[in-house]
Amino acid sequence: MFTGLPRVPEKYDQVLADDIKVYIAQDANIAPEGLKISLGNWRGFPTLEVKGLLTY
């Protein structure tokens, strides 16, 4: 996961999750149940949680 705009924006789909723009690669491997993007908290710091993005 990276912050900022992708280098080649046309290869990504833009979605809005909790008022945050998230770019997902069009060739990403996504679990059959879908992708869940939400805000979390780790020791008082805000985090972006992504579930359902497969890494294989």
What one-letter code names the amino acid at 39?
L
Segment 30-50 shows an average pLDDT of 92
Most confident listed range (16-20, 27-31, 34-38): 27-31
Most confident listed range (2-6, 17-21, 35-39, 42-46): 42-46
Determine contact, residues 12/28, Cβ cutoff 8 Å. no
> Can you name the residues that pair with 25 across neighbouring β-strands?
12
Please give the DSSP secondary-structure letter assigned to residue 56: -
What one-letter code names the amino acid at 49?
E
pLDDT tens profile 3-27: 889 999 999 999 987 788 999 999 9
> Can you name the residues that pair with 55 across neighbouring β-strands?
none
Residue 39 has pLDDT above 80, yes or no: yes
Please give the DSSP secondary-structure letter assigned to residue 9: G
pLDDT of residue 3: 82
Rounded CA-CA distance 22/40 in Å is 15
